[in-house]
Structure formats: C-alpha cells, structure tokens
Amino acid sequence: MSVIIDQRDDSSVLPLLNNIGPYNEVPEEYEAEEAAVALSTTKVLVIGAGGLGCEILKNLALTGFKDIHVIDMDTIDVSNLNRQFLFRPKDVGKSKAEVAAKFIEERIGDKDLKISPYFGKIQDKPLSYYKQFGVVICGLDSVEARRWINATLVSLVDTELNNLIPMIDGGTEGFRGQSRVILPTLMSCYECTLDLITPQTTYPVCTIANTPRLPEHCIEWASVLEWPKMFPGRKFDADDPEQVEWMYQTALARANEFNIEGVTKSLTLGVVKNIIPAIASTNAIIAASCCNEAFKIITNINPILNNYMMYSGDDSIFTYTYAHARRANCPVCGNFAKTFTAQNWWTLERFIEEISSKQEVQMSQPSLTAASRFLYLRNPPHLEESTRPNLSKKLNTLIRGGDELVITDPNLPISLKLTVEFTGPETEPDDVNSSLM
Amino acid sequence: MLIDKETRYDRQLRLWATTGQSNLESSHICLINASSTGSEILKNLVLPGIGEFTIIDHRYVSSRDLSGNFFLKHRDLGKGLAEAISVNLNELNTDVKGHSINRNIRAILEEESPEFWDTYNVVIVSEYISGLDILKEILWKKRIPLLIVNTVGFYGSLNLIANEITVIETHDPSRLYDLRIDKPWPELQQFVDSIDLDALDDTDHAHIPYIVIYIKALDSWKQDHNNQAPQNYNEKKQFRKYIESLSRNINLEANFIEASNSIHRALQKTEIPNSIQKLFEKVNILDENLTSSTPIFWIYIKALKRFVELNNYQLPLPGKLPDMASDTTNYVKLQTLYREKAKRDQELFTAEVIRILNALGRSKDEISNESITSFCKNSQLLFVTQGSKKLYTSTLVQELLDNTNESNKENFNTLGIYFSILTFNLFTEKYRRAPSLKDLEFFKMLFIEEFMVSPPVPSAIEATFKETLSHNTRSYHNLSSLMGGVVSQEVLKLATAQYTPLDNLFVFDGVRSISEKWKI
C-alpha cells in the first residue's frame, strides 16, 4: 500500500488557532482563518543555522510556517555534531544553511514548505531583501552580527511605523540562555542592552609577559606575543591541527619554565578560539521560546514576551522575565547623544583608544567626525592620510567641551553620537609613567 | 568517517569533563509514551551520547503522530511508534543503543516483576499514562528517579520524583574560595612569616599576593582588638583602611588595590556551612544504621564527620586558588602549599572512609582516588534533598487558593496551570478522551471533587482552565521542544551526577513566558 501525502497533518497546531483563549489581547478582531493564512504566507528569516538555527528551523516547519529563509556563512565542523542534529558526519565541510534547509524539506515532506538557504554573510544582502520578512529570528554567536541586523531593522522603520519587522533573538551558554523580543523603535533594542553582555575575559599584557600565574596566561603569551614574532603577518588558524599543536607546545614550554600546571590541548583551544560550552538541551529551550514568540506575533493568538527572558538550568531551574527599558541615548534607536568625559591632556589617539574599549561602544575601527570637520577617518585612503596627523594632536585643540562627535565603524551600520566634556590637567601626570610592570 | 569523541563532544566536555561523560555513557534512560515531547527529550540525550535508551509505547504511527513530531517520517505511517522513533533518533549518534518495546505500559506493570525496571537509571513519563501510581511506587522503592512531563497548548509542567538525590559536583555558581586566611595552617603561616614587607624593594612589594597581606594584616589587627577579627560594618571599613595603609601607593600597587577590593575573602570565616552540619545530624549515619548497602555518599558523610572532629572542626581544604596579582614564584609557592595541604587532608579523609568500610566488611574497591578528591574539593557545596512521591499535597492546594486571592485582578495563577494539567489527565483517565472547551463545567467539577476545593472555582483558576481547554493540543511543537529541553537538562544532571537538579516541580507558562517552581 502506498499513500501519497504532500502535507503533514496540522492537528497539533489547529486547536491553537481555532479557539480564542482568555488571554487573547484582540478577541474582537481575531479570525482563525486569518491567523492560518498569516502562518502559511509570512516570510520568516532565520539568521544562523547552528545550534539554535537547527532547532528554530525544525520548530517553524512543525508549527505551520511555510516560507522560511535561512542565512549562515559557516560550514559544518565535527564539534557541531553534539547538538546540530540536522548534520551528519558526511556533511562536515558543507554549508550549514544549505544542508539544514535540505534536511528539513525532506523530513517534513510538504510540497508547500519552502526553505531558502543563503550561504554567506548577512551584510551581503541589500535593505530591500530584509523588507520582505514578517519576522526575523536570530540564533547567532556573534555580537557584531546581532548589532548589524538590529541596526538594519531599526533603520527600516519609517515615521508611520511601516516596515516594522519584529526581531527575536536567542543566545545560550552551557546550561543558560536568554530569549528576547525586539519591536524596532517601539521596544528596547539590542544596542540598548549592549552593556549587559559579559565582556570576554582578557589578561593584562604585563601579566602575560612578566608574571604568568595561570595556564591561560601561558596560552595567551603563545598566541598574542610569540605567534606574531615567529610568523609575522600570518593569521593563526585554529582549525589547522599543526598550528594548534605549535600553540599548545609553545604554551606548555612557557608553563614548564614557570612551574605552572594545567596547560592542555583542550584548554589551549578553548582560550584561542574563545570556545563557549554548548549542549542541545539549552538550544532546544531557547529556540523553542523564540519560536513560540514568533508564533504568537504572527497569529495574534496570545500576548508576546515583553521583552526579555533569562533561563538558567545549572542550579535547579530558574527563569527571569522582565521588560528591559529603552535607553534614551541608544545610538541606534535613541535620539540623545551620550556624554563622555575626556582628560585635557589626551591626544586624539588616546581618546580613540579609551572609547573603543568602553562596554557600550565596542568598536574596533572607529572613525570620528565633529560637526564641522573630519577628525580621523579610516577610509578612503586619501582622507585617512589627511586626517592621520590629528591622531597625535591634543583632542582639546581639535574640538571644544560640549561639542558633539559622530563615531562610525565599517563593520556596523551605526553612528554613535558622543558629547565630549573635558577635565583634568593639561599635561600628562608624572606618576602614571612610573608603571609597575 | 572516523570521528574522535574528544572533538565531537568538545563543547559539552567543557561542562562535565570526562567523568561526567563516562557516567552519561553508562546510563540507560527509559521513555514511556512516544510523544513529540518524549522524542525531543531523547534527541537532546542521544546527541551528547547517552549510553542506551528504551521507548515503551504500544501504538502505531498515525498521521496525528506525524503532526508535531520531527522524528517520524511519512514512510513510518503504520509502523510501531516506539520502534520508528527509536530508529530515527539513532541516526543522530550511532554510539548510542536505542531500543523499543511495543507493549502497553499497563500490561507491563501488570505482567512484569518490579525487576523489569532495574536496567534503567532514569524513567520518563510523557503526558498521561494509565497506572502511573503503580509505576511511582515501584521506582520509589528502587530509588530510580522518575520525571513526569506534561504539555497542553502553551503550558508545560515537570515533576521530578526521587526518593533522595545527592550531588557532589555542584559546580558552585557563587565561586567561593576556601583560603583559611583566619586559620592558616603552620606551613602557610611559616611562609607568610618568611616575608618581611618592609624589606622588599618597590617592585617586589607591589607583587606580594593578597593572601600574604591579609594574613599579616589580620594578625596585627587581632593583636590590637582582643584577638578578635573585625566584627561589624564599621570595623570592617577600618580594616580595609588599614590594608590600604600598608601599601606604599594605593593608587598604583595592583596587589593592594585588589586586596582592598576583595576584602570579603580576608573576612570569610572558616566554618562548616549549616547545610553540611545538618547532614552530620542525619540518623542514617548513626553507627547502628550503617549497613553493607548504605550508599557510598553517606559513608563519605560519616567519614567527613569523623574528619572534622579530628581536625578542629575544619572541612578538608579544597586547595584551589583564585588568580591574584602576584609575581610567578610566590603564586606558585602558595599554590603548592594549598595543594599539599589539600592532599594531606584527602589522605586523612581516605583513612576514615577505609576504617568505616572495614568495620562494615565492605571492600575498599568501592572507592577511587578520583571520587575522594572530588568529594573533598566539594565538601562545602554538597547538595542533598529528600523528595516526595506525591503529585500534590493539601498544602499545595492551599497555596493555589491563597495565590488566587492576591493575583485575582491579573486573572492568572501559575500554580493553577499545574492543577489544570493534573485535572486534564484525570479527565483523560475518566472519559478516555482529551477534554475541550465545551467540557469546562465537567472539568471544574472534577477539579473540585479531586482536590476538595469548595465551589465556586476562583476566576483566575478558571481562566487557566479556559486557556488549557481552548488550546488543548498535547503536541504544539514549541512547547514540546521547550519542555523536552528542560527535561533533558534534568536527565543530564542526574546522569552525570553534576550540577543541582530541580527540587521538584516546575511549571512553564508560554502565554506569559514565565516559569515558577515548588517543592512538594
């Protein structure tokens, strides 16, 4: 007996659409049929086809979404197989987006379900591409990509709130994770909460160079100081076993010299790749929470998360749901400039160093413009050349206290406004020089 | 393609290391009811490499099963449900052994002896089964943890039913360090005394680790204060000032800046936490109650009690140091001192364990160096809980009704979700079908009778009933997947014997995206 089926039974979803529950916020306007049409016609964009992405694609496909797009620039690695369940050992090296899309289409076996993969960067796509979606769900491990898509979605919204595309963002680490809903320009955006992100562990250079105590210090010494010395101009590739072995041996030799225990290959990899522990269970929880919110947004069947849920499973189970407030001086969705206090003796170069490392700025290649002039631009080359001399000048000779600066970075579609105030002595204080390194 | 486990499991080994992984690989998990939630739970366990799993279900794959379950294919229609899912899950990881039993759970409970369950380390029941009470009794006696997970529409609940759970490696999230600043042992005191701060040049002075600074500072403070450490807020503030005054320049000496910022470490008292003191008072470690079958955890507790009695009421030193501003030599010296003391403590503790085992006629093969080391390192952070085999108590019903009065205005009640799910299963048992909105009046009556609540049903509880009955699907995939993730985390914690498990009821509300938990 062979039955030809071109669709999955929708009995698991229908009861959700057909009845209005007591918490439905728009019971007068709600129509089950409209909700069903919205589910099957809304275009959903999934950014990331990794641990969260695999889960998100599965969840969307099993809850009635039919037009799903997925972007990922990565290829499949062996260490993905402990959680990215759409991939098999034979897929190692192939595009995550393409393999995931094909797997889901085959498994669901529904002729109306279309999953369109794109193997590349989100920055490759024009604004017009993003306008077509009804909701964007992010399962990313990169802060930069999240900032980019967040700023892009905020920039799409016009004064009449056209093109308002909800962004749902998930993230996990070990047994913990968080999911959040962003209605661009109406709710706190990703940039508003940039200071919530735990900064990556860094070690002072003088510790690494002179007084190592931890195995991590020895690994950092090998990667930050020794690698560039031994292989100038060559970027370290953590996926090349020979290079990893060199790094490990170099760190180990350093550790032995100082009688420091604990340098292992696994720790070496963890430090140089900044590896975050990850398991399928946590990805499942967070991805499902994100997709539940997407389902509610598109169908209007129940209220949506306002706007942040933290989950932690390592010490019993704990969730914390709260509305994160918008930041008035958010560079992406706010209107007001931030104030930053600079020392009178700072050069422009020193000023750039100080602001780039600030938690709420986090720009690696900032360009600075004052109201009337360019202070320092990275591009194009002729402007870089003409503004470079400013770097060694004192900032208070270039602008006055109360002036507003605009800071941009080629990696982010953001312009950060900063009002600068000056304080402190005109010359660099002496005792700062007597460094104790 | 040959794949080495270390690479494949790298991202999880960073959470539970090889000891956790080998525990996981020797675990056998049983799932009763091949639901969508059940499949999701097993997916999350097969991927990290659980040893074996068994699915018990007597039904055959229907198109309804396909609706919310990713681990069923069109071509599985008509096959045994348990077997089809087991085969599809096994594709995720060929190191895992998947089994299926195509039998009715009721029949198994009636026909098999209780020994049937001995092969399983954890049993999971998904949604409603007939005979849950019998199963609960069997597993309770056998000390096999039972997880009961339910989803209805946007709601989910999880019960963890276990006689007793003990965890050694809790991975203390508070990052407590036991430094014994207030009670340095002779070797540590000697090392501190060998350093004369005044005689050091500026560079060395700025690189003395704060442990040395604290012990010296506390010594001289005590001499001026009747041999007492700083007691109140004011004295603690003064003590901080005193530490800062020992610096040659408190704006520049990184070690003194750190010492001033981490002052709580200097004032931390070396004592036995209450939670551990309570374990010493348990009757099961009285001499007359120890037997050849007493779990090794309780033998360790007995040995720990003897250890502290012989060692000035101090627990074994964990021996771990935080990083601190220091030159390499002094840091490594300190590290060695702490490690050596920890090792000596472990040896003394081991001797106590062996003494107890000998007295009971038990072999010392029951213990290993690794398990002793792990126990000693975590002896301040042990987690022990006694569970309940009840699904509810009159106290919980009372709490449900009390909550309702407070949150009436908002018209929701998270505990009401749990009782709604319990009533949903009762209804299913009684009428052999799932209730829907038109059954609301019967549903309320059932609730009133079962939980002995006087009518009428408060409106906040009725609202959760309505939500449950309007959206009465048991395989809305987002909830299946979410609860599947939650349950699998709990199984991972139980199987690796690491991290602190749920104790013991969890409810997720997907309408409001919140959760709450209770202890029954």
Q: How far apart are CA A123 and CA A411, in angstroms?
A: 9
Å between B239 CA and nearest CA of chain A: 25
Q: Mapping DSSP to helix (H, G, I), strand (E, B) and coil, where does residue A368 land? A: strand
Residue A8 counted as domain residue = no
Residue of B nearest to A322 (CA): B514
Å between B223 CA and nearest CA of chain A: 32
Residue A48 counted as domain residue = yes
Angle of CA points A88, A90, A91, to nearest 5° = 70
**Lowest mean pLDDT, pick from A418-422, B172-176, B233-237:** B172-176
CB within 8 Å: B254 and A436: yes
pLDDT at A355: 83
Strands A318-322 and A338-343 come out as unpaired
Residue A75 counted as domain residue = yes
CB within 8 Å: A213 and B332: yes
Residue of A nearest to B328 (CA): A211
Q: What confidence tens digit (pLDDT) does each residue in B6-58 have?
A: 889 999 999 999 999 999 999 999 999 999 999 999 999 999 999 999 999 99
Q: Which of A54, A138, A189, A206 is catalytic?
A: A206
CB within 8 Å: B473 and A11: yes
Do A139 and A268 fall within a single domain?
Answer: no
CATH number at A265 reads 1.10.10.520
Residue of B nearest to A315 (CA): B500
| From B67, B510, B514, residue closest to A10, measured CB to CB | B67
Q: What confidence tens digit (pLDDT) does each residue in A21-40 have?
A: 999 999 999 999 999 999 99
Do A156 and A286 fall within a single domain?
Answer: yes
Q: Are A277 and A293 in contact (CB under 8 A)?
A: no
Q: How far apart are CA B21 and CA B4, in angstroms?
A: 14
Do A187 and A212 fall within a single domain?
Answer: no
Q: How far apart are CA A367 and CA A409, in angstroms?
A: 6
Burial-class residue B421 by CB neighbours within 10 Å (0-12, 13-18, 19+). buried
| From B43, B63, B467, residue closest to A280, measured CB to CB | B43
pLDDT at A329: 82
Q: Which residues of chain A have pLDDT under 70?
A: 1-6, 335-336, 430-437
The residue that leads in pLDDT, A355 or B460, is: B460
Q: Are B376 and B346 in contact (CB under 8 A)?
A: yes
Do A193 and A240 fall within a single domain?
Answer: no
Residue from A218, A72, A233 nearest A137 by CA = A72
Q: Is the pLDDT of residue B3 over 80?
A: no
Do A150 and A263 fall within a single domain?
Answer: no
Do A159 and A99 fall within a single domain?
Answer: yes
User: What residues in B contact A109, CB-CB < 8 Å?
Assistant: 73-74
| From B64, B251, B486, residue closest to A9, measured CB to CB | B64
Do A268 and A286 fall within a single domain?
Answer: no
Strand partners, A171: A178
Residue of A nearest to B334 (CA): A213
Backbone phi and psi for residue A198, each to the nearest 5 degrees, phi listed first: -70, 125
User: What residues in B contact A431, CB-CB < 8 Å?
Assistant: 249, 251-252
User: What residues in B contact A281, CB-CB < 8 Å?
Assistant: 44, 485-486, 488-489, 492
Å between A36 CA and nearest CA of chain B: 15
User: What residues in A contact B467, CB-CB < 8 Å?
Assistant: 21-23
| From B43, B93, B475, residue closest to A12, measured CB to CB | B475
Which tokens sit at B171?
């991975």
Å between A371 CA and nearest CA of chain B: 37
User: What residues in A contact B328, CB-CB < 8 Å?
Assistant: 211-213, 258-260
* One-letter amino acid for residue B62 of the chain: S
Residue of B nearest to A180 (CA): B513
What number is the average pLDDT over the span B84-104?
97
Residue A330 counted as domain residue = no
For B5-170+476-518, CATH number?
Answer: 3.40.50.720
| From A213, A280, A434, residue closest to B323, measured CB to CB | A213
Which tokens sit at A194?
């940039």
Do A20 and A68 fall within a single domain?
Answer: yes
Residue A232 counted as domain residue = yes
Task: DSSP for B400-440, please give it.
Answer: HHHHHHHHGGGT--HHHHHHHHHHHHHHHHHHSS---GGGH
Domain ranges for chain B, please list them.
Answer: 5-170+476-518, 186-267, 274-386, 394-470
Which tokens sit at A218?
């020895």
User: What residues in B contact A92, CB-CB < 8 Å?
Assistant: 1
CB within 8 Å: B3 and A280: no
pLDDT at A5: 57
Q: Are B79 and B71 in contact (CB under 8 A)?
A: no
User: What residues in A contact B492, CB-CB < 8 Å?
Assistant: 279, 281
pLDDT at A197: 79
Give the 3-state DSSP-derived string for B337-380, with helices as H, strands as E and coil as C: HHHHHHHHHHHHHHHHHHHHHHHCCCCHHHCCHHHHHHHHHCCC
Do A130 and A26 fall within a single domain?
Answer: yes
Which tokens sit at B279?
């374990």
Å between B288 CA and nearest CA of chain A: 34
For chains A and B, count residue pairs whose Cβ atoms are closer than 8 Å. Answer: 259
Strands B122-126 and B164-167 come out as unpaired
pLDDT at A334: 80
Å between A82 CA and nearest CA of chain B: 5
CB within 8 Å: A278 and B49: no
Do A221 and A252 fall within a single domain?
Answer: yes
CATH number at A412 reads 3.10.290.20
User: What residues in B contact A258, CB-CB < 8 Å?
Assistant: 328, 332
Q: Is the pLDDT of residue B101 over 60?
A: yes
Select the residue from A59, A62, A264, A302 to test the B interface by mutation, using most B Cβ atoms within 10 A.
A62
Q: How far apart are CA A238 and CA A89, in angstroms?
A: 20
Å between A380 CA and nearest CA of chain B: 42
Domain coverage including residue A126: 14-198+278-322
DSSP state of B130: T
Residue of B nearest to A89 (CA): B1
Tell me what ipTM this predicted complex has.
0.95
Residue A161 counted as domain residue = yes
Query: Looking at the 3D structure of chain A, how many domains does it have?
Result: 3
Å between B241 CA and nearest CA of chain A: 22
Helices A241-257/A265-272 angle, 10° precision: 110
CB within 8 Å: B47 and A280: yes
User: What residues in B contact A260, CB-CB < 8 Å?
Assistant: 328, 332
Residue A43 counted as domain residue = yes
CB within 8 Å: A174 and B15: yes
pLDDT at A433: 42
Residue of A nearest to B72 (CA): A107
pLDDT at B1: 53
Do A64 and A191 fall within a single domain?
Answer: yes
| From A23, A78, A284, residue closest to B484, measured CB to CB | A284
CB within 8 Å: A11 and B154: no
* % of residues, chain B, pLDDT over 90: 95
Select the residue from A7, A12, A308 to test the B interface by mutation, using most B Cβ atoms within 10 A.
A12
pLDDT at A309: 98
Do A268 and A400 fall within a single domain?
Answer: no
Backbone phi and psi for residue A90, each to the nearest 5 degrees, phi listed first: -70, -15
Active site residue A206: yes
User: What residues in B contact A79, CB-CB < 8 Å?
Assistant: 7-8, 10-11
CB within 8 Å: A317 and B64: no
Local confidence band at B173 (pLDDT 50, 70, 90 cut-offs): low
User: What residues in A contact B154, CB-CB < 8 Å?
Assistant: 16, 292, 302
Q: Are B403 and B417 in contact (CB under 8 A)?
A: no
